[in-house]
Amino acid sequence: MSDNQKNWPSLDAQYLWHPYAPVNVEPPPFAVESAKGVRLKLVDGRELIDGMSSWWCAVHGYNHPVLNHALQQQMEKMSHVMFGGLTHEPACRLAEKLVELTGRKLPRVFFADSGSVAVEVAMKMALQYWQARGDQQKKRFISLRQGYHGDTLGAMSLCDPDTGMHHLFSSILAQQIFVEAPACRFGEPCRDEDFAPMENSLRKHQAEVAAVIVEPVVQGAGGMWFYSAQYLQRLRDLCDELGVLLIADEIATGFGRTGKLFACQHAGIQPDILCVGKALTGGTMTLSATLTTQSISETISQHPPYAFMHGPTFMANPLACSVALASIDLLLESAWQSNVQRIERGLQNGLAPCATLDKVAEVRVLGAIGVVEMKQPVDMKTIQSAFVEQGVWVRPFGKLVYLMPPFVMTDPDLELLTSALYRVLAEL
Ligand SMILES: *Cc1c(COP(=O)(O)O)cnc(C)c1O
């Protein structure tokens, strides 16, 4: 082995950026050798129990033989072909599956390669729809505070203006309309006063609003907040009344994480446009999809320019589509619902002691998501290493220390994970 091969982790500091980080970030990233099941193996031989599912994605754990097999099979046929003028079985079958899973009300599927792009596509669908209808006014979006919808410029314009990056980019971001995050918690009713900020804003701006976008039930990266499903029912009704489209961003919540296959099902509502990503491929490849109604897709297609104006180079990548199909089948054949309920109980029991700590503001759990909200932001430099020393992979942000384990995590592993988290917080 050459020196270079032995020393590859040192190349990281020399050449790479990491998400939301400066160069030469401290502590340096931990070097991963491999991953299997719910464990990440570091190059120094240590094993970490994964509390993050690689940001909501790896619901089946890592290196799953069924997913690997699907990738290998597809690779033998073709890894990729362009989607302009060509089509293939994995895309056709996956589109049909997604349409079936979401109740057949959103029968048209656009594939893209990341969640952020799925959101851009959703925004462009809404804008093109109103243009096709001859309505030149409707070109703004209503979004919730504490929301997160991605990092590209369009998606970023929908993120919380304070916790997002608006102060840096405000001069070039589209100016959207922001509404207070719902105060009514999950499981509680949504009273008139809880819905008033949305109602007032929507009625006031109705003429210029193309769509409202929400992360249904669980606001993810913007605050890990769980809100009342009734809020979504009221929102659906009001959008219908006022003729405004509703976009559900289920990129984080889709595929079982909240206890339902899709979080909209807690409310029994259908959006006009739906974005999925993250766990779509079980965390193996990057892929996203934007689904919409017959009416929106036909209106766009029947008016100038007689096409939806978007087309990623790697659209509907066959490897990603095949592994997504395999992942969805694996999920549906598994006892995912009872697994998520089991993890919910494990998180409730395992994180309850954290609520007694002085530095903790609140503990909340929904489905396979457990959140410990601290009173002050944690110091990433020290806490990250502390978790690794305890043998777990947990990546907090700001005041939020949270777990979203793979659905396949056993109770003993979950207990190791939650007790390690407690020890780290208790020693802060
Ligand atoms: C992660 C996320 C996105 C962005 O997805 P990327 O694949 O990171 O571009 C958008 N919306 C929500 C709700 C997300 O959680």
Q: Quick: pLDDT tens for 235-270.
A: 999 999 999 999 999 999 999 999 999 999 999 999
- C-alpha–C-alpha distance, residues 103 and 270, integer Å: 9
Tell me if 223 sits within 8 A of 215, measured CB to CB: no
For the residues 19-38, what does the mean pLDDT come to? 94
Q: What is the pLDDT of residues 218-231, one digit of tens each?
A: 999 989 999 999 99
- C-alpha–C-alpha distance, residues 151 and 109, integer Å: 22
pLDDT for res 313: 98
DSSP string, 302-360: TSTT-S-----TTTT-HHHHHHHHHHHHHHHHTTHHHHHHHHHHHHHHHHGGGGGSTTE
Pair (225, 365) in one structural domain: no
Pair (322, 283) in one structural domain: yes
Q: What is the pLDDT of residues 377-393, one digit of tens each?
A: 999 999 999 999 999 99
pLDDT for res 26: 86
Q: What is the SS3 assignment for 218?
A: strand
Residue 387 CA neighbour count, 13 Å, CB half? 25
pLDDT-based confidence at 181, cuts 50/70/90?
Answer: very high
What is the domain range of residue 108?
Answer: 69-333
Pair (186, 306) in one structural domain: yes
Q: Are strands 392-393 and 245-249 parallel, antiparallel or unpaired?
A: unpaired
The closest of 31, 275, 292, 1 to 152, measured between CA atoms, is 275
Domain of 390, CATH number, reads 3.90.1150.10
Q: What is the SS3 assignment for 56?
A: helix
pLDDT for res 198: 98
Distance 285 CA to ligand 1 centre (A): 14
Mutate to test the pocket of ligand 1, among 278, 286, 369 (most ligand atoms within 8 A of CB): 278
Pair (356, 415) in one structural domain: yes
pLDDT for res 166: 74
The answer, yes or no, to whether residue 18 has pLDDT greater than 60, is yes
- C-alpha–C-alpha distance, residues 94 and 104, integer Å: 13
Ligand 1, pocket residues at CB < 6 Å: 114-116, 119, 148-150, 215, 220-221, 249, 251-252, 277-278
pLDDT for res 7: 87
Pair (246, 370) in one structural domain: no
Annotate 113-125 with b (16+ C-beta within 10 A) or e (fewer). bbbbbbbbbbbbb
Mutate to test the pocket of ligand 1, among 148, 160, 273 (most ligand atoms within 8 A of CB): 148
Distance 304 CA to ligand 1 centre (A): 31
- C-alpha–C-alpha distance, residues 264 and 374, integer Å: 28
Percent of the chain topping pLDDT 90: 94
- C-alpha–C-alpha distance, residues 293 and 248, integer Å: 13
Q: Which atom of ligand 1 is nearest to the CA of 114?
A: 7
The residue from 304, 333, 362 where one domain ends is 333
Pair (119, 50) in one structural domain: no
pLDDT-based confidence at 167, cuts 50/70/90?
Answer: confident
Q: What is the SS3 assignment for 354?
A: helix
List CB contacts of 309: < 8 A, sequence separation 6 or more: 124, 128
Q: Closest residue (by CA) to atom 15 of ligand 1?
A: 252
For residue 213, list its beta bridge partners: 143, 247
Confirm whether pTM is higher than 0.85: yes
- C-alpha–C-alpha distance, residues 426 and 168, integer Å: 36
Least confident of 5-19, 116-130, 329-343, 401-415: 5-19
Q: What is the pLDDT of residues 31-55, one digit of tens each?
A: 999 999 999 999 999 999 999 999 9
CA distance readout (Å), 396 to 194, 205, 329, 369: 29, 36, 31, 13
Domain of 270, CATH number, reads 3.40.640.10
Pair (284, 249) in one structural domain: yes
The closest of 117, 92, 63, 39 to 275, measured between CA atoms, is 117
Annotate 211-234 with b (16+ C-beta within 10 A) or e (fewer). bbbbbbbbbbbbbbbbbbbbbbbb
What's the domain count of the chain?
A: 2
pLDDT-based confidence at 170, cuts 50/70/90?
Answer: confident
Pair (84, 217) in one structural domain: yes
The answer, yes or no, to whether residue 2 has pLDDT greater than 70, is no
Token pair 């790479």 is at which residue? 16
Q: Amino acid identity of 45?
A: G
Pair (116, 204) in one structural domain: yes
Give me the sheet containing 47-50, strands edge to edge.
Answer: 32-36, 39-42, 47-50, 392-393
Distance 310 CA to ligand 1 centre (A): 19
Q: Is the backbone peptide bond immediately before 312 cis, with ω within 30 degrees of 0?
A: no
Residues labelled as active-site residues: 20, 148, 249, 278
For the residues 202-228, what does the mean pLDDT come to? 97
The closest of 391, 396, 315, 360 to 82, measured between CA atoms, is 315
For residue 159, list its beta bridge partners: none
Q: Which atom of ligand 1 is nearest to the CA of 221?
A: 15
- C-alpha–C-alpha distance, residues 257 and 286, integer Å: 18
Token pair 């009344």 is at which residue? 241
pLDDT for res 164: 73
The answer, yes or no, to whether residue 311 has pLDDT greater than 60, is yes
Distance 115 CA to ligand 1 centre (A): 4
Pair (233, 309) in one structural domain: yes
pLDDT-based confidence at 4, cuts 50/70/90?
Answer: low
Structure-token pair, residue 102: 């979401």
Q: Which atom of ligand 1 is nearest to the CA of 55?
A: 1
The residue from 314, 333, 352 where one domain ends is 333
The closest of 97, 100, 152, 98 to 122, measured between CA atoms, is 152
Pair (198, 297) in one structural domain: yes
Q: What is the SS3 assignment for 332?
A: helix
The closest of 256, 265, 217 to 367, measured between CA atoms, is 256
The residue from 298, 317, 333 where one domain ends is 333
Distance 76 CA to ligand 1 centre (A): 31
Pair (185, 297) in one structural domain: yes
